[in-house]
Structure formats: structure tokens, C-alpha cells
Amino acid sequence: MRFLTGLQPSGQLHIGNYFGAIEPAVRLQEKGEGFYFIANYHAMTTMESAEALRTNTRGLAVDFLACGLDPEKSVFFAQSAVPEVNELAWILSTVCPMGLLERCHSYKEKVAKGIASNHALFAYPALMAADILLYDADAVPVGKDQKQHLEVTRDLAGKMNDTFGADLLKLPEPIINESTAVVPGLDGQKMSKSYGNTLPIFGEEKALRKLINKKVVTDATPLEAPKPTEGSIILALYKLFATGEQYNSMVAAHHAGGVGYGQFKKDLFECYWEYFRAARERRDWILAHPEYVDDVLNTGATRAREEAGKVLSRVRTAVGLGWV
């Protein structure tokens, strides 16, 4: 089975990105053939700085590899290294009804947040469909908020098959992990860069310790009193990193009283810091060997283009663009 996942290079990765997308993607490496790409074409819909795009693209490559992506088991590449995706996106656009795009909630939400409306932002689902269909992906891990885009992909593949021949494009299935933890931000809202409430995966120890100590929101319960566990941001974050025994121990300490939030935050930091220790060590090695990232992305792009060429050739012939 072939899986496909893409991540936008939107800046520093946080633990919401990790538990929501990166960790599930890394686990899938053991279950089939993974195609993982850095969606830098998509990032252009909201990013105008060329330098930021270059920096973020390479940064995401480094961090994804540090978090356990194995290029020996998967195909890892930058979206822009496979220009075939844009031709397929154009072909898909010719069978894509305007109403289908107008119903997509992502466009409306981004414009509502003040992102400038443009054609690329509006046609984003067509490019996403090309990303998926170009590699004959069997399944795509998606969050509940992205399920609509996969439905658009399946709709467009179906229209292509109805118009130009059955089985032209493979209809991918969604993988929706209902058990994926909801990661709260440091203020209790959903963790998001736009809210400024994120906890980075990587960073300097002193700064991250201070971030947890200063920014994790708590109530005014006195040190000696029992602490509420319902809605506790500390407990919700701690559960992501702790063993079951550690988590239960902290819950018991909340109920017993006599321990202040400062100690709980210290315990949270220590557990979080240890959780990503191996990833930090891998990241340090990768940063010391920049040629490794280049080799991985170049090799991945070559393999990705080989697969993309097969699908695009099939589509070009079917729609009348091939010279046969």
C-alpha cells in the first residue's frame, strides 16, 4: 500500500504539528510505501518572502528527518522538485466545477483571517488533488479539518475517469486517526502559530523551560490546596510525553494538594525535554552534515519524478496530449 503526506513549510515546528502529522506519518513507514513531500508550492499562497520560503523548506526537511523519517524506507522530496504536479493540476482544473471550489471551507477561513484572496488560494484543492493522484496513492492520512480536500480529490479523479476512461486515476482512501491527541496550546486554545500559543519541538533549553513556566496558563489555587484536573493544560500536555504511571502520579498529586503549579510545570518540562532527546541528537548531526539533506531530497525527487512520469504519461495520452 502506498501512503502520501505533505506538510507546508510554514515556520518552526511545534508539538501540535508533531502529534497531528509528523508522528503518525513516521509510524506509517512501517506499514507500506510512504511518499512524503514538503508543500512549498502551497506555501506560496500565504508567503511572499523568497528567503523565508527557502529557509522554511530546508528547516522542515531537517526537522522531519530528525523526527524519524527514514529516507531508506520512504520517498522524501520537495513539491517544487516535481514540476509534473502543476501540469496535472491544470488538467484536473478542466473538469473541476467552480462550485466544488466555492464550497471548500479552507479558502473561506483563510480569507476571513485576512489572507489576501488570489487564484492559487482558491484553486488550492486542485493542486492538492494533483499532489495525491500523481503518485497513485492508495491512502492519505488527513485530519478531520482536511477531509473535505480529499473528498475533492476523489471527486476530480472520478470525473477524470468518467470522462477519459475508467481506472485512469486511482481513488485514494482517507486515513483518519480518531485517536490522535488534541494538542492544546499553552493558553488552552488549539495549538496554532496564529494564536501565538505553541510549544516548539526544538529550541534552546533555557528558553523553552522559561516558555513553559511563564506561558502555560493555570488558575490561582493555593499551593496547599488540591488542584483541579478538569481542563488542566499542564495535565493535557504532560499526558503527551509521560508514561501512564507518570501521568497517574501527577493526577494524584493534583488531588492531594501540597504541590504548586511551579513544580508541575517543572515536571512537564523535564518530561517534554526527555521525550525529544533522540530527535535533538539526530537534528544536531543533520545540521552538521548539510550535504545529507541535499542528497536525501535529490534522491527523493528523482524517485518521485519517476512515479509521477508514469501517471502523467497515462493521463496525457488519455486526454489527447500524447503524440500517439
Question: Which residues are designated catalytic?
Answer: 110, 190, 193
> How many Cβ atoms from other residues are within 10 Å of residue 271's Cβ?
19
Q: What SS3 state is found at 44?
A: coil
Cell 495525491 belongs to residue: 132
What are the two backbone dihedrals, phi and then psi, of residue 141, each rounded to the nearest 5 degrees? -70, 130
Question: How many angstroms separate the CA atoms of 216 and 211, rounded?
Answer: 8
Q: Which of 78, 75, 107, 76 is nearest to 9 (CA)?
A: 78
Strand partners, 184: 190
Give start and end residues of each alpha helix (H) in the chain. Answer: 15-17, 23-28, 40-43, 50-66, 84-93, 98-102, 105-112, 119-122, 124-133, 147-164, 205-215, 233-241, 244-256, 261-275, 277-288, 290-319
243 by DSSP, 3-state: which? coil
Helix H or strand E encompassing 3: strand 2-7
CA 181 to CA 179: how far, in whole Å? 6
Element at 141 (helix H, strand E) = strand 139-141
